[in-house]
Amino acid sequence: MKNQVTLSPMVSTSFTASIIIQDCKQRADGESPMYLQLVAERKKKLIGLKLYWSAAFFDKKAQMLLPRYKNDPDVMDLNIVIGTIKARANEIIRSYRLQMRELTLDLFVNDYKNFASKDCFLFYSTSKNISLHDKGINTHRTKLRHQTALNNLIDFMKNKQLLMKDINTEFIRHFDAWLRKTKKYKHNTVVGVHKVIKTYINHALTDGYFLDKPYAKFTVSFRDGEREALNREELSKLRSLLNSELLNDLERECLRKFLFSCYTGIRISDSDLISSSQIKEGVIKMKMKKGERFGKEINVPLPKYAKELIEGRKGLIFHPYADKTVNLALKVIAEHAGIKKNLSFHVSRDTFGTLFIELGGDIASLQELMGHSKIQTTMIYVKMSEQRKEKLMMNFDTL
């Protein structure tokens, strides 16, 4: 009798996963819950995503969110989360198909939950960023800044998943090289990105996840040498440009905020919080956002020109544009003004510190005005002032 071999039948289960929004369940704010809808053998199951959006601004075909208004700050963050969820769902389905295993609703839910809680760093960090903002731990500005840094990591992975276990020192070195060579970021910009990534690795460790500590063997720090300050001539060019027809309303507001910082040293995060009620007898008195947990407070007397910049304004003095929006506008402004330096908002703070020293100000007063906790930080502006003097002296070589 010949041996009989019985072949297993091909798995024919049709399994689909898609993002849906249920407009029949609407919250008081008009937003509806989002779900991952699973369909297998005519059976359906919904996985709640704990995400909410207006159903009128949901593209059902693309399964993506649409901006609710111009420059909607939340649409990008949530679409990243949705994209990560869809990628993982497709990967689970594909994995079972390649293994010729039948995928049931219960098996999918089990695999998906294990993924969402343990595996993907991109999913974890983006979700954590949103959560920290929703809980009031991080400001909206911090949320945007962190997501910009995390977006670099998403771009680097090129739609591939980044598992917690794959984050090690070698991975961080490759990421660092990509930021410098492909993105062409300057050193201090690269350091800023690393600081954010390190923050979310630490969050993951605190939350009980198991992963390497890549930055224990890979350290990066800011370089003072890359900082630039405007000289008096360049500052004068910007003042003249403020009311020029060359600028649109957004650029004009960004320049106004920038110039105000050139004369006061106020950080961009603090400039968005300044209210007219905090200005009394020509002095700004406010707690700094960066030193908020230490109760750090500054008192800044306003020079005449700074008063002119905000004259007649009530409530919040400046429009709270995102950092990226401001810095992009400053690039256009620099071109209009014929300034070759890489203009970013922090240049205004460096300009204030350097000019304060050049105009005869003392280091102790500058430390107090800028809210530095360490005198060593304030000494940077003394060094920058000295470097400018050396460059000016070299002009004699042309005589």
Whether pLDDT at 7 is above 80:
no
Distance CA 191, CA 348 (A): 20
pLDDT per position as a tens digit, 108-157: 988 887 665 457 888 888 888 888 888 888 887 788 889 889 989 988 98
pTM, entire model: 0.60
For the structural domain made of 232-398, what CATH number should be given?
1.10.443.10
Amino acid found at 212:
D
What is the amino acid identity at position 259? L
pLDDT of the residue at 289: 67
6 falls in which pLDDT band (50, 70, 90)? very low
CA separation for the pair 209, 226 (Å, rounded): 37
Which of the pair, 198 or 272, is modelled with greater confidence?
198
User: Domain extents for the chain?
Assistant: 10-119, 120-222, 232-398
Highest mean pLDDT range out of 12-26, 71-85, 189-203, 226-240?
189-203
> What's the topology of domain 120-222?
DNA polymerase; domain 1 (1.10.150)
Q: Angle, nearest 10°, between helix axes 121-134 and 140-157?
A: 170
Other C-beta atoms lying within 10 Å of the C-beta of residue 74:
16
Closest Cα partner for 371 from 308, 299, 274?
299
- Do the domains 232-398 and 120-222 match in fold? no
| pLDDT confidence of residue 152 | 92
Residues facing residue 43 across a β-bridge? 40
* Partners of 20 in the β-ladder: 35
Q: Distance between CA 250 and CA 341 in Å, rounded?
A: 21
Indicate the average pLDDT of the chain. 85
Instruction: Give which of 187, 190, 201, 349 is closest to 264, Cα–Cα.
Output: 349
Token pair listed for 380: 């940077």
Q: What are phi and psi of 389, to 5 degrees?
A: -65, -40
Give percent of the chain with pLDDT exceeding 70.
89
